[in-house]
Amino acid sequence: MTADLDNGLALAVGVLPAAIVGLPATRRGRRAIVVLGAFVGVPILVGSVLANVPALAVLGIFLLAVGSAELAGRARVGLIAMTLGLPMVGVGLSYTEVDVSAGLAVLMIVGSLYAFVVSLAWPERPPPGPPPPLRGPGLDYGLRLGGAGATAATIGFALDLDHVGWACAAALLVMRPVPEMQQIRSVGRIVSVALGAALAILWVDADPSDAAYAAVAVAVVAGAAATRESRWYITSAFTTFLVFLLLLHAAPEEAAGRFNERLLETLLGVGIAYLFGLALPAVLRSRPRSGRPGEATA
């Protein structure tokens, strides 16, 4: 950052996936950090390619959601694709210039490679027990997840939003098969995005030195790593803070517009996720089921 603030901040964003996944017990297992970086970077590129044909992007989000939800019950890679890769495809919808999204993908992968190398300095520890058996969310959830992502993308393209992917990513990030978890993530994301963006604006307005930018980036990455297992969804406060530094450090006059845009699109995405993740299942559960002739309806 002291040599090139733009690339330094971008690389700090690239390290975030590794901070969020934590430190695997064995050095062999730490190769998963690189895989996770690819699961963040490559889907952004895929979303960017799809964004150039809006109808294809909407259909692609829907099909990827259904497919990843089905795969989530069969392989852990499917669970990662559904909870991380799919929202990153949504993020990629904001970038119609493929060369820009390709650069972001490379930075994510380079950041993860760097984090993997650093992680090797930590000693190994006994690995945890075997993971719990997979329980897929089912086709019903996949269809609703796809509906939420496709709806958010459709609204973004129809309104010609500057960042089509922000609402789409918010909807896909907060939706979960368990209603209680979705409620916590919905409130957490709104509060975290508002807080992270506001603090970033205050930081940029203070006009700190490049060295100070470097120091705060280290603190933010450390904070994301330290709180990754929190029951409350506060990770987005750290990611939003770094993204806003990247967007505003050279254009602080855009702060108010960027804040309003980010917050409103987050509210839109969370609202769409509420509709498909919580309201629709409640309506379906309340409908009476017709029984066999001669039996009372439930």
pLDDT of amino acid 218: 94
Buried/exposed 260-285: b ≥16 CB within 10 Å, e otherwise: ebbbebbbbbbbbbbebbbeeeeeee
**For 27-64, how does the pLDDT look when each residue is reduced to its tens digit (9 = 90+)?**
999 998 998 888 889 999 999 999 999 999 999 999 99
70, 78 in Cβ contact below 8 A?
yes
pLDDT of amino acid 190: 95
Q: Residue 295: which pLDDT band, with cuts at 50, 70 and 90?
A: very low
pLDDT of amino acid 289: 64
pLDDT of amino acid 296: 43
Which amino acid, residue 244? F
What are the structural domain ranges in the chain?
Answer: 5-123+138-285
